[in-house]
Structure 1
């Protein structure tokens, strides 16, 4: 197997490089065929690597970058004023062929802008999309895109999201014929905006995807669709609403357990089974949104991610790089363009 190299933006996110280095400790043991270029302030990174007994690890190298893109930086400012940032240098390693993927927990808007500027989109791709995996009731995962990279989309862009999401599900979820659906306010054909209805017509008439129609928000986790397509405005609100509901449910369960000794006893009695259920739903396991449609693998980790969640983002980058996802998307998009010609 060809040895992979990932560039890790170690300075992004709410918690800084400490959680990145902790995640790397697990990653180097789980992926012995992968090298990691850790990008950030060298002295700080050396100290953290030493604290994890990783300072002499042959799979880890440091690329110094003095500047840091903060979570408050506006995308345009980050692009113009911080050309030597850890985020930019990590993307340049990918663009120059010195890495096969990038992982960053930094400012989403800045990462989108820099990735678009440094890497460019694949030929024929109108806009890159931010995509994440959701657990579903069938015990598997479904992809949701876009999550906010493109708040406003036309029908052609939504159509391409369906194509790219279908390829991603085939390559990384091992689904031979992914079912693609548009997220809408109803399942009836007359529902939704003109843009969504026209996107449905494009998807329905294409042989590139297995389009199953509209689905509503309450079907996002049923497994009815393997790929769920929407514009970034809808997708971001849908995802953040789900995250907020999950936090509410967890807080409510914890409060209930703590309220009475009998509930605490019940929890201890069934803790192993309950832990298995929680592990399946645990947000850490689904951290890592893919910026697909670019000329390279770019994974956005949640800014508030802990080390386990950041490891999940690294795992996602390894999977997409091994499957050569950008090349697979490029090939499919080219065939679709020929189909439409």
Structure 2
């Protein structure tokens, strides 16, 4: 297995990314290799300065970077030699088995769609986020930003994608799928939710449990929470802020500690033909390590092949 890692993406790159790669190395087996994509000279120096063996990694050299504020589509087209551009080229050619970056989120989405492309029959790929549960474990919420506006059939597909992720990566048997809404009754909600509910209820590819309200997000009411990307992004960022608030208030609580993004590392793009992981722009070494391990687990679980089979 070869895990591609963009060492130039993120607010604290390349140092934080390379240090994260070093931290993740001990969790990889001998047949699992990290491929560092970016400025090779800088990467090797950081590794040597931290008294680590630079021969533990493979390197693909480039100095070109897609900035966080650059227009995604233009940057992908105009910078094929960027660390993100090269990463997707290697993924498309099968030279790496997964690709992860804490860089420009839009460029990662566009790059995935232009290179490995969406799985046939998947209307719109989604970004999945993780939310902790009060009684332990976690739930999956999608979409969290790839699709601000959705149609009912797209939300139904998110139910399939989220259910497969819950089964494959988190060993949840027959995950409960809920539709985020403003009430439990099937008649509630905006036009999108009203039209989506009967379609999800009729679908036999996942275990639909009905509408889920915001107050149910951290409970066992559901394992997969489906919504459009606008709603999901607002919910996820609000949830992530809980952890920052507890730190500022001097509070320590095991539940709120699990809101720390470092534990999850990143979010997979579900519905494309290869494992692609998007990390937080503010990722530190611990978050990068988690992102590498998520990449490894995604490949090992065979999630992409399971999604392809589900959409045949």
Q: CA deviation at 1:276?
A: 5.5
Q: CA deviation at 1:303?
A: 0.5
Mapping for residues 38-53 of structure 1, pairs under 5 Å: 38-53=36-51
CA distance in structure 1 between the aligned counterparts of 2:75 and 2:43, rounded to whole angstroms: 22
CA distance in structure 1 between the aligned counterparts of 2:299 and 2:274, rounded to whole angstroms: 8
CA distance in structure 1 between the aligned counterparts of 2:253 and 2:204, rounded to whole angstroms: 42
User: Which protein is richer in helix relative to its size?
Assistant: 1
CA distance in structure 1 between the aligned counterparts of 2:21 and 2:265, rounded to whole angstroms: 15
Alignment-derived partner of residue 288 in structure 1: 266
3-state SS of the aligned residue for 2:121? coil
Alignment-derived partner of residue 266 in structure 1: none
1:100 maps to which of 66, 72, 97: 97
Alignment-derived partner of residue 299 in structure 2: 321
TM-superposition CA deviations, 1:284-339 (whole Å, max 9, x none): 112311101000001111000111111111111111100121111111122xxxxx
**What CA RMSD, in Å, does the superposition of the two structures yield over aligned residues?**
1.5
Mapping for residues 159-178 of structure 1, pairs under 5 Å: 159-178=156-175
CA distance in structure 2 between the aligned counterparts of 1:278 and 1:128, rounded to whole angstroms: 29
CA distance in structure 2 between the aligned counterparts of 1:315 and 1:24, rounded to whole angstroms: 10
Contact 1:183–1:216 (8 Å) recurs in 2: yes
Mapping for residues 192-203 of structure 1, pairs under 5 Å: 192-203=189-200
CA distance in structure 2 between the aligned counterparts of 1:50 and 1:77, rounded to whole angstroms: 36
Alignment-derived partner of residue 224 in structure 2: 227
Alignment-derived partner of residue 304 in structure 1: 282
2:133 maps to which of 127, 132, 136: 136
CA distance in structure 2 between the aligned counterparts of 1:245 and 1:134, rounded to whole angstroms: 11
Q: CA deviation at 1:280?
A: 3.9
Tell me the matched-pair count.
311
Alignment-derived partner of residue 239 in structure 1: 236
2:84 maps to which of 78, 84, 87: 87
- With structure 1 as the length reference, what TM-score do the two structures score? 0.88
The gaps in structure 2 that reach 5 residues or longer are: none
TM-superposition CA deviations, 1:167-192 (whole Å, max 9, x none): 11111110120000011111111111
Contact 1:121–1:295 (8 Å) recurs in 2: yes
Contact 1:144–1:228 (8 Å) recurs in 2: yes
Larger radius of gyration: 1
Mapping for residues 34-73 of structure 1, pairs under 5 Å: 34-58=32-56, 60-73=57-70
TM-superposition CA deviations, 1:222-243 (whole Å, max 9, x none): 1211100101000011111222
The gaps in structure 1 that reach 5 residues or longer are: 255-273, 335-341
- With structure 2 as the length reference, what TM-score do the two structures score? 0.95
TM-superposition CA deviations, 1:22-78 (whole Å, max 9, x none): 1111211111231011000122112112223344334x1110122101111111221
Q: CA deviation at 1:279?
A: 5.0
Contact 1:163–1:333 (8 Å) recurs in 2: no
Contact 1:162–1:229 (8 Å) recurs in 2: yes
Alignment-derived partner of residue 107 in structure 2: 110
Alignment-derived partner of residue 126 in structure 1: 123
Q: CA deviation at 1:282?
A: 3.2
**Residue 15 in structure 1 maps to residue 48 in structure 2:** no
